[in-house]
């Protein structure tokens, strides 16, 4: 009798863990920590006047038609090829006379049709942005021997000045 009192039947807490686990798993599955990602862009200021003049050799014309076909400087190409064409144009290591004299002068002109799909446009834009990031990364490595993310703000500005990403988006053509 005495022995029984010493060990009263405890309410088993073992199953509590299981219940809590079920709830936890429910929340884990139901939760979607939606970290949106994308291409960050700052649109140009609204300006309603005559277009400024640019020198032809500084501009790389990229056109996307309504069938999502790409043409660069009058030659048909594909979107993935842009990734090699853009650094070639901007850096102009071959000193071609129809490419810009300095990388800071390069302008990428992206023009599309009203019927171009958003998919192709976003892909083209992201390739332009990523080729600039790669070029900046290379410059940072060769100039400061550091990665882009390790630079202080002065150095980062210097890099941005040497390789400014100038994307000009002309009004879409209609046909």
Partner 1 sequence: MLKKKKKDMPAVSTASLPDIIFMLLFFFMVVTVLKSHTVRVDFDLPEGVDLQKIENKSLENHLYIGSKDDGSISIQLNDAFISIDQIRDAMIKIKNSYDLGEKNDASLSLKVDKSIKMGIVTKVKLELRKADFRKITYVSVGEDQE
Rule CB under 8 A: which residues touch partner 1?
A: 13-14, 16-17, 19-21, 23-24, 27-28, 31, 33-46, 112-119, 121-123, 125-127, 129-130, 133, 171-172
Q: 63 forms bridges with which residues in the sheet?
A: 71, 111
Cα 43 versus chain centre, distance: 14
Q: Is the dihedral of CA 35, 36, 39, 44 positive or negative?
A: negative
Rounded least distance, CB 24 to partner 1, Å = 5
- Residue closer to partner 1 by CB (options 37, 53) is 37
**Backbone phi, psi, residue 9, to 5°:** -65, 115
Pick between residue 35 and residue 153 the one whose CB is nearest to partner 1: 35
Find the shortest distance in angstroms from Cβ 31 to partner 1. Answer: 5
Closest CB 57 distance from partner 1, rounded Å: 27
- Edge-first strand listing for the sheet containing 107-112: 75-77, 70-72, 59-64, 107-112, 167-169
From the CB of 14, what's the least distance to partner 1, in Å? Answer: 5
| Of 134 and 155, CB closest to partner 1 | 134
Residue whose CB is less far from partner 1, 56 or 119: 119
CB 63 within 8 A of CB 112: yes
Give the shortest CB-118-to-partner 1 separation in angstroms.
5
- Surface-to-core class of residue 153, CB atoms within 10 Å of its CB (0-12 exposed, 13-18 middle, 19+ buried): exposed
- 122 to 55, 64, 85, 142: CA distances (angstroms): 27, 11, 18, 30
Pick 3 or 118: Cβ nearer partner 1: 118
Contact between 62 and 110 under an 8 Å Cβ cutoff? The reply is yes
């Amino acid at each position: 009798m005495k022995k029984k009192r010493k060990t009263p039947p405890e309410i088993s807490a073992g199953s509590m863990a299981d219940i809590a686990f079920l709830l936890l798993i429910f929340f884990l599955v139901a939760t979607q920590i939606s970290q949106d990602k994308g291409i960050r862009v700052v649109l140009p200021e609204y300006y309603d006047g005559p277009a400024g003049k640019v020198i032809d050799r500084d501009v790389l014309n990229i056109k996307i038609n309504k069938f999502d076909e790409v043409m660069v400087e009058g030659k048909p190409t594909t979107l993935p090829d842009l990734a090699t064409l853009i650094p070639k144009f901007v850096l102009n290591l071959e000193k071609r006379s129809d490419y810009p004299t300095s990388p800071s002068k390069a302008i990428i002109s992206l023009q599309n049709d009203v019927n171009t799909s958003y998919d192709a446009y976003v892909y083209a834009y992201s390739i332009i942005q990523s080729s600039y990031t790669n070029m900046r990364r290379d410059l940072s490595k060769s100039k400061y021997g550091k990665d882009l993310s390790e630079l202080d703000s002065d150095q980062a500005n210097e890099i941005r000045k040497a390789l400014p990403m100038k994307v000009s988006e002309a009004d879409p053509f209609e046909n």
